[in-house]
Chains A and B, each alone.
Chain A
């Protein structure tokens, strides 16, 4: 027995010391807590002060927040929740689940009236399913006067399209997501090549470097790495490739359906033929098992120097520090096309001032805001005190003081979405990027965000079925050779039309138009 007492006597002080150490960071404002955050800009720290003055504003209020278990996405919420609790007296219980489970849990919780979650940090693509039945709180009035949130600092695209549905604000952006192309800047510089402006350029560069040793290990490497696994991200890339062929007249035109009659643009037409053909071609200059790779696989290959080109969200930029690709990585806006679809004939026509008014040097860029970025929403059926507390927490998370640091860290899965994220490069340098790499990375994001022809991801009811079932299956079958281009396009169009008819064509058209922010 005495032996156990000795062991207990040894363990208890250790536990007490550990607890004290663990508790200490939350005792100081978030801007000074973790070591990486200690270097936050002075202005960012100052902006956290108003929240600190709130004292015990939400004392006794505990909220449940459902999100993705990443570990990205949940990580910053869990890391910063104690800081916010220290400032306000409230409590945030972050419930983290698998990506596929978030939607099911959230919608079942809301629709059955269980309402065990006060809010969600989820995919804004699901707004169509949540706003219609009235599950989400309208945040329009709250965001306007919120000095902590600084709504106008959020990029116009994320503010006016991503967070907004049918003219009302329903989410607070915590992340900015869209596709970009990454390239090996050292290789292109050595060979005097420019980053790809069109998809034809992309294939030319990828073909040149495919099979060469790109990282000095005497092994042949790959020209292009794009994740093509079924049930993962495969269907998003085909949207990026097709976007510049399908949408030429600005975000409001839409790239998925004809806003006049709800006919799928992802059907049998020349634009889809060309996009599918290009998508399949990229697989010929990629890893042999690219058809079974998700972004985890392609990011690993790119950061170890095995790919000359890759398409991804903003994550590769923040993942390169400390890898072979550090200071050898460039980012550029998703390549475009010099042709665009004539929707009346289904044929491609050359880009000119009428067909592609947003074209740059004759190239119609249409950067795709795939997914849209993790965003916080509040359950309309939650008690008001919980709604207030959760709103304050989401506002705190999105505020420049916090988000300015989180978007620079690869572990958060968050990418920049505020003007201030681009104006101050110090947090990026602190995160390990060189000045050149930071300028290049932020420049690529900026050029995408400022593009008025950006493509908004689908956000209508049953979006999951349109994309994750029908589109994903048909594209995967096409890449595997089960379907030719015409059959794949037919399968997509038939599947989408069936879903549209099931949900009601007029209702779906109205939802699509509303999601694009089109006022009629």
Chain B
């Protein structure tokens, strides 16, 4: 029988003579026998106290979850610093330091992970310098405003440096002669463009579905269907839809004079196909949450504004949209974290191709895993974890907090 810190040794060892007083558990021996019903109830009350509940239920659960969360984290970190090989009756793990990370960021795999980086074009330089100036201006304003403490300013400086660094990477890969984005930038494109589209479409559908129009219950269900389909299924469906030589839409392409059109030879069309499929699947999630938020809004303020002569756009811009901002930031945060893990659509639709045009970080990790390059796969996964953590933390601290304070 496990003993609680608040139990006396006597109580812990007394077997069936467990007793307690109102202030805590004590061993009362003989006295307990004279008042058994009351003692039993008091004992039950003690067991139900916060302290006992904490030790018996919360801590084991927390420890269990920590072990479940921490073990894979530690194990994958160790794996990312190792080379794995098989032998009879076991596995050899050889520590190789940061070689896997070096390979991804500076070595052979750099062109796949970061991309092919070339000197920026004049437009690229203009973008980098503009970003640098804007970031410096924003940080200076933050310092002068006096609203932020040292930690807040350091965080904003860090965010600014990261932003400029990322724009520099982006420009070298995409606004340069001969540059090409790697899986890191491709993932960010999927996340930023995909989530942007999903939010705009989800908000539009929610604004439509909240109207008192005939058949709106039917449309609400229809809009939700894509969310119920497994991502693999959605991948195969779009594989058929984008097949222009024998897919179900072939007659449509031919009718439109696009017989030789293909989604899959141009990198940007291929990325667009992935984003369309992902948007089709995840817009319903944004839609359903925004619909619930819209339906819970107090309509009196909006109606008063309309009565006072505000246009519908003004009412939306100044009343409805600000009221949706807290929900908006939460949805975007959830989708951000989820969106970084995109793999099914680019894998099933294009196998990460053409070339490596649609190879996301998760897909790159999966390919490495599949070819038993477990160390490098873990390194990619860890870099993804770091990226998601940075983006989510900055988003929460800089964007979401700003929005909630404004609202």
Chain A residues near B (Cβ < 8 Å): 100, 103-104, 107, 110-113, 129, 133-135, 219-220, 222, 229-232, 287-289, 291-292, 297, 300-301, 304, 306, 462, 464-465, 468-469, 473, 476-483, 494-495, 498, 502-503
CB neighbours of A291 from chain B (8 A): 262, 264-265, 353-354
Residue of A nearest to B90 (CB): A111
Q: When A111-B90, A297-B246 are in contact, do A462 and B356 touch as well, CB less than 8 Å?
A: no
Most chain A beta-carbon neighbours within 10 Å: one of B108, B242, B265: B265
Are A104 and B370 within 8 A (Cβ)?
yes
Q: When A113-B89, A482-B356, A502-B83 are in contact, do A462 and B112 touch as well, CB less than 8 Å?
A: no
Are B87 and A230 within 8 A (Cβ)?
no
**B353 in complex: contacting residue of A231, A300, A462, CB < 8 Å:** A231
The 3 closest A-B pairs by CB, nearest first: A231-B351, A480-B355, A480-B354
Q: When A112-B91, A291-B265 are in contact, do A231 and B86 touch as well, CB less than 8 Å?
A: no
**A465 in complex: contacting residue of B243, B263, B353, B371, CB < 8 Å:** B371
19 additional A-B residue pairs with CB within 8 Å, beyond A134-B88, A468-B367: A104-B370, A111-B90, A111-B91, A113-B90, A135-B88, A229-B353, A288-B245, A288-B259, A289-B243, A292-B350, A301-B246, A462-B371, A464-B370, A468-B370, A473-B112, A477-B356, A480-B357, A494-B108, A495-B108
Residue of A nearest to B92 (CB): A111
Report the bound CA distance from A242 to B368 in whole Å. Answer: 26
Main secondary structure of the interface of A (DSSP, over half): helix
CB neighbours of B244 from chain A (8 A): 288-289
Q: When A111-B91, A230-B353, A297-B243 are in contact, do A480 and B265 touch as well, CB less than 8 Å?
A: yes
Are A289 and B108 within 8 A (Cβ)?
no
CB neighbours of B262 from chain A (8 A): 288-289, 291-292
**Those of B84-108 within 8 Å (CB) of chain A:** 85-91, 108
**A-B residue pairs in contact (CB < 8 Å), sample of 9:** A111-B90, A231-B352, A289-B244, A297-B245, A306-B246, A469-B373, A480-B354, A480-B357, A483-B355
Main secondary structure of the interface of B (DSSP, over half): loop
B267 proximal to A (CB < 8 A):
yes
Are B89 and A469 within 8 A (Cβ)?
no
Report the bound CA distance from A113 to B347 in whole Å. Answer: 32
**Those of B227-281 within 8 Å (CB) of chain A:** 242-246, 254, 259-265, 267
CB neighbours of B200 from chain A (8 A): none
CB neighbours of B347 from chain A (8 A): 231
CB neighbours of B67 from chain A (8 A): none
Are B88 and A480 within 8 A (Cβ)?
no
Are A133 and B87 within 8 A (Cβ)?
yes
CB neighbours of B156 from chain A (8 A): none
CB neighbours of B350 from chain A (8 A): 229-230, 292
Are B370 and A133 within 8 A (Cβ)?
no
Are A229 and B351 within 8 A (Cβ)?
yes
Are A469 and B367 within 8 A (Cβ)?
yes
B154 proximal to A (CB < 8 A):
no
CB neighbours of B352 from chain A (8 A): 230-231
CB neighbours of B370 from chain A (8 A): 100, 104, 464, 468
Report the bound CA distance from A494 to B110 in whole Å. Answer: 13
CB neighbours of B400 from chain A (8 A): none
Report the bound CA distance from A373 to B247 in whole Å. Answer: 31
CB neighbours of A289 from chain B (8 A): 242-245, 262-265
Are A300 and B355 within 8 A (Cβ)?
no
Report the bound CA distance from A112 to B88 in whole Å. Answer: 8
Residue of A nearest to B273 (CB): A292
Q: When A287-B245, A289-B244 are in contact, do A476 and B90 touch as well, CB less than 8 Å?
A: no
CB neighbours of A104 from chain B (8 A): 370, 372
CB neighbours of A222 from chain B (8 A): 245
**Those of B164-186 within 8 Å (CB) of chain A:** 180
Residue of B nearest to A495 (CB): B108
CB neighbours of B264 from chain A (8 A): 289, 291-292
Are A464 and B372 within 8 A (Cβ)?
yes
**Nearest CB in chain B: distance from A189 CB, A:** 26
Report the bound CA distance from A50 to B353 in whole Å. Answer: 52
CB neighbours of B88 from chain A (8 A): 111, 133-135
Residue of B nearest to A286 (CB): B245
CB neighbours of A129 from chain B (8 A): 86
Residue of B nearest to A289 (CB): B262
**A480 in complex: contacting residue of B89, B246, B353, CB < 8 Å:** B353
Q: When A231-B347, A289-B243 are in contact, do A473 and B356 touch as well, CB less than 8 Å?
A: yes
**A133 in complex: contacting residue of B86, B263, B355, CB < 8 Å:** B86
Are A111 and B353 within 8 A (Cβ)?
no
Q: When A229-B351, A288-B260 are in contact, do A480 and B267 touch as well, CB less than 8 Å?
A: yes
**B90 in complex: contacting residue of A112, A464, A502, CB < 8 Å:** A112
Are B261 and A468 within 8 A (Cβ)?
no
Residue of A nearest to B369 (CB): A104
**Nearest CB in chain A: distance from B236 CB, A:** 11
**Nearest CB in chain A: distance from B253 CB, A:** 9
Are A477 and B263 within 8 A (Cβ)?
no
**Those of B342-375 within 8 Å (CB) of chain A:** 347, 349-357, 367-368, 370-373
**Nearest CB in chain B: distance from A102 CB, A:** 11
**Nearest CB in chain B: distance from A411 CB, A:** 21
Report the bound CA distance from A112 to B87 in whole Å. Answer: 9
Most chain B beta-carbon neighbours within 10 Å: one of A103, A110, A469: A469
**Nearest CB in chain B: distance from A299 CB, A:** 11
Report the bound CA distance from A219 to B250 in whole Å. Answer: 12
Most chain B beta-carbon neighbours within 10 Å: one of A129, A292, A464, A476: A292
Most chain A beta-carbon neighbours within 10 Å: one of B350, B356, B371: B371
CB neighbours of B367 from chain A (8 A): 231, 468-469
CB neighbours of A220 from chain B (8 A): 259
Report the bound CA distance from A443 to B263 in whole Å. Answer: 39
Report the bound CA distance from A484 to B244 in whole Å. Answer: 27
Report the bound CA distance from A453 to B344 in whole Å. Answer: 41
Report the bound CA distance from A103 to B83 in whole Å. Answer: 18
Report the bound CA distance from A121 to B356 in whole Å. Answer: 32
Residue of B nearest to A464 (CB): B371
Report the bound CA distance from A19 to B109 in whole Å. Answer: 57
Report the bound CA distance from A164 to B83 in whole Å. Answer: 29
CB neighbours of A498 from chain B (8 A): 108
CB neighbours of B243 from chain A (8 A): 289, 292, 297
Report the bound CA distance from A469 to B87 in whole Å. Answer: 22
Residue of A nearest to B250 (CB): A219
Are A482 and B355 within 8 A (Cβ)?
yes
CB neighbours of B263 from chain A (8 A): 289, 292
**Nearest CB in chain A: distance from B38 CB, A:** 51
CB neighbours of A482 from chain B (8 A): 180, 267, 354-357
CB neighbours of A133 from chain B (8 A): 86-88
Are A301 and B353 within 8 A (Cβ)?
no
